[in-house]
Structures are given as structure tokens and as C-alpha cells.
Amino acid sequence: MIVHASREMKITTVPEKKIVLVGPMDTGKTTFKRVFFEDANPLELLDHSLEPTHGIEIDAYKHASSAIAVWDLAGQENDNWLDEKSDVFEHSNVIACMVSITQPLKDTLLFMIKFLKKWKSSETDSPLYILLNKCDLVAESASYNIVVTIEQYMSKKHPEFGDICKRTNIRRTSIASDYFLRTLTIAYEILGDCIEKRDMQLTREQVKEIRAKINLLSTFQARNWYTIEMLSTPTSVEDTQKFLDELLERCYLVKEREKLYSLSEKGEYFSRAWATHGSIAKSKHAMEKIGFFLTLNANLEKLGRS
């Protein structure tokens, strides 16, 4: 279970870990946080832009024995965060620098140089993730070419940042279905640098149940309605009902007249992403990552925001 903060309440516990999200305006930092920390519907966030963040929004989360604060830094105030006197990166466990494919490359490079200088002067040893977001808006070859250009420019003009800006270290992300599971695995890695390993591990039985839920979702055809008898065998009715109830609670399904089930928009979205990333989804390790997120945000409870 992950517990998140509300706007109205103040944080009443002190999180043990700190994740910082930094980047220019409109790169998708808050959307990334909402989707992968709070189980928000990606479709709703793709269709409706969030209000810009002001100042620093700090959300507190708890998962098992791990407590985390996510610092979401407003992009329009980057001059403050990257000032030599700023201490926002101190005591951080992970820093995620997010830039967008939609921004002029010159502006992206200028921001990255300024950020990396601040990051280096902060002398933090926390892991750094560089995310090139909204990659669904261009061809995959075009986003890859931008990554290569960033790598080559930094290697030539700022060799002190050459290692961190290698193409393998710049992750291409998006919440759109073509990139969704790939981005989910990156979010898993970011969380993994903060959450105790024992809190992220799934049992063999949990992984088995995750596979069963995904297989059940895959059975549904968009806009068709199903009864439990159509989805189960006589020996699996009880388990199928349990999985249907859980998927219904998580808004992957909708229900009509107590007996008919169909994919919700969110369920259709996940099914498309799953079909797109079949190669990712086949490995046991990837299944654990996906399963972690499918169970992570169940039963959200408000803790507080500062």
C-alpha cells in the first residue's frame, strides 16, 4: 500500500527518503508523479493538462516500512532551484531531471548544463535519472536522434558531464500507451532507489495472481460485455470473481446490472500498453515491476502535503 498526501493536510510524519523532480515548465513532472505514485488515469492526464506547479509541492508517501517525500519543483522557478545558494537537492536519495521532446533542443541543452552544474556542485551522491519525456509525440527514430545529439554535444562541449549524458543514461519516457510500460519500469527503478528491497518484493503467489489478472484483462475485447461464466471455468469461478472485484475496484473494469463486466477506458488503455510491450511483459522481472504497480496504489490513504 502507498499512502499519499492531500493538499489540505500537513505532513505529520517525517519521510525517511527524498525524491526530487526537476525540469523546465510543461515537461510532465507532476503528471509522472500522479500516474506512477497515485494511480491516476493516464488518459485523463493526456486529455487535460494539469495546472502548473507553484513553488515546491512535497507529497509524502508510505509503502510498508518505507516513507518517501517527493519534491516537485515548479519549472517556472528553476532560477531559484539552480541558484548556487539553493539547498533543494541536499539529502536527496534520487534526483529525476525531466526535459521534454517538445522543447527546442537549444533550450533543453541550456537547462541541462545549468542543472548539471548545480547537481555537481551540490556534491550529492544520490542516483540521477535524466528523462526525455513526451516521446510519443515524435517518431521513435527522432527521439533517439535527440538523445544521440545530447550525448555528442555534452561529450564535446562539456566533457565533465559526458558520462552522465551517455545515450544509455538518457531514458525516453511518456505516459502514452506506446511508452507506458517502458516508463513504468523506469518509475520502478526510481522507487527502488528509495524503498527497502523487502518492501518491493512480491511473493511467487502474488506474481501468479498478477499474471492471472493481466490474462483476465487480455480476455476482454473493448466495448464488449462479459459474464463471469464467460470468463471462468467451473473450477476457477471463485478466483475469477476475486480478480474481477479487484480490477473493478481499481477502475480497470466497469459493471452493469450486477452481472456484466466490460473494460473501462483505463482498462482499455492498460490492455493496449500491454499488447504494445509484449516483449517487455514476458520476463519474470518485468512482470514483477508491472505487478508492483498494479498492487502498489490499492487502498490509498491521505497522509498530508506541505
What domains sit in the chain, N to C, each tagged with a CATH number? 2-198 (3.40.50.300), 202-295 (1.10.10)
Hunting for cell 517538445 — which residue is that?
102
What's the pLDDT band for 28 if we cut at 50, 70, 90? very high
- Spell out a b/e string for 249-279, using b for 16 or more CB atoms within 10 Å of the CB, else e: ebebbeeeeeeebbbbebbbbbbebbebbee
Instruction: Encode pLDDT of 173-223 as tens digits.
Output: 999 988 998 899 899 899 888 887 776 777 788 878 888 888 898 899 988
Task: Express as a percent the part of the chain with pLDDT over 70.
Answer: 88
What's the gap between Cα 111 and its chain centre? Answer: 22
What's the pLDDT band for 260 if we cut at 50, 70, 90? very high
pLDDT of residue 295: 62
111 or 188, which is more confident: 111
pLDDT of residue 281: 63
Residue 13 confidence (pLDDT) above 80 = no
Nearest of 132, 128, 115 to residue 28 by alpha carbon: 132
Name the average pLDDT for the chain.
Answer: 85
Task: Tell me what the mean pLDDT of segment 260-274 comes to.
Answer: 90
pTM as predicted: 0.87
Instruction: Encode pLDDT of 59-99 as tens digits.
Output: 888 777 778 889 999 999 999 999 988 999 999 999 999 99
- Cell numbers found for residue 22: 526537476
In terms of phi and psi (left: phi > 0; alpha: psi -120 to 50; beta: otherwise), the region of 283 is beta
Q: How far is CA 153 from CA 160, 161, 198, in A?
A: 12, 10, 40
Hunting for cell 495546472 — which residue is that?
51
9 or 44, which is more confident: 44
